[in-house]
Amino acid sequence: MRGMTLGERTDPDISPQSGSRRIRWVGVAAVIVVAALAVGGIVLSRPRPSQPLVAPTTARSVPTTAPAPVAERLTWAPPRLATPITLAIGPDIHELRLEAGQDYLLVLPRNPLLLAGELVINGGRNVVLIGGEIVVPSIADAPDPHDRRGLLLKGQTGTVHIEGLRISGAGLSEGIDIDQRDGAVVQLENIAIATVHGSRATNHADVVQVWAGPAQLLIDGLTGTTEYQGLFLLPDQFLSKPPESYDLRRIVITSAQSGPTGGAGYLLWTTDSTPWLSVSDVVLVDPRTDLRGMVRPFSAWEQGVRLQSDSVGVRLPRGTPGVSYSSPGYVTQGEM
């Protein structure tokens, strides 16, 4: 019988985070700015002088560069934001409960951000975060593995676009968890997740885990290393409605605890029936020579997944996730 992975629970109404921790209501204190998303970058209006968005020494912006060649660009552009609220994420502002129906632009600092716990983005309509690095606390500082998750996306009603993000930390227990029961579209592009730590007997670590929705999961450019599991996609675990589409492209999952004496679990796992799943250019880096026993069900993954002993020759979008991230731009409709 399969054990419970981090984030799973028997009651779907219980938040995956500890109930004793208070989620900050940041929408009231946020600074409202007018923003527009343009091809190749984000344009912000000037913050109100009496309510500075973030100190100039710590503010981070995504460089504007010429678009990369089509083959190196990202597939999905961020959603257009309507009168968004811009929030600067910091050590004391990392558990966000966003206002329903409101658009948000989230900004990480110029330097890697060490958090006291996971980054939680709960609510809002269209939400965009581009570039930056979040670092989870150590096991000594946060013994509970829930406090060492990288990112939880929950309760959006439009499109949430996370791009150019790096998630790291020596105690990282989980990469990205997704709980979307209101029809959201989740776009993860140019994401790098450092080694997630776990085992069959302890925390069932995942690079990305889904337990409810989203309606659409669009991934282009994801690298992650795991001691246990890679992509664990159960969109109907706590939601009876099946998703519309999951499109997974240019992904590299590296097994850190594999081989005859290793303890890695399945690197790709989903439900038995997956008419909504499309997979292309997914690479598993593992010393084993047979995908069987590494992916489940085999029929859902076999056409779009290949097994390699290293990452040589892997094709990824242009751009290095993290604090110096520069977006390569996006493929236009006519170029697809």
174-179 and 149-154 beta bridge pairing? parallel
Which structure tokens are listed for 324?
Answer: 């110096």
pLDDT of residue 66: 73
Long-range contacts of 27-31 (CB under 8 A, 24+ apart): 27/85, 27/97, 27/98, 27/99, 27/102, 30/85, 30/86, 30/87, 31/85, 31/86
Amino acid code (one letter) for 131: G
85-88 and 31-32 beta bridge pairing? antiparallel
pLDDT of residue 93: 86
DSSP letters spanning 192-208: EEEEE---SSS----SE
* 3 state SS of 281: strand
pLDDT of residue 96: 97
| pLDDT tens, position by position, 223-262 | 999 999 999 999 999 998 999 999 999 999 999 875 544 5
| pLDDT tens, position by position, 318-336 | 999 999 999 999 999 877 7
pLDDT of residue 65: 65
Q: How much is the pTM?
A: 0.82
Phi then psi dihedrals of residue 116, to 5 deg: -80, -15
Which residue numbers in the chain have pLDDT < 70? 1-65, 258-263
159-168 and 95-98 beta bridge pairing? unpaired
- Bridge partners of 97? 122
pLDDT of residue 63: 60
Q: Alpha-carbon distance 209 to 230, whole Å?
A: 8
Q: Alpha-carbon distance 268 to 252, whole Å?
A: 11
- 138 contacts 117 by C-beta, under 8 angstroms: no
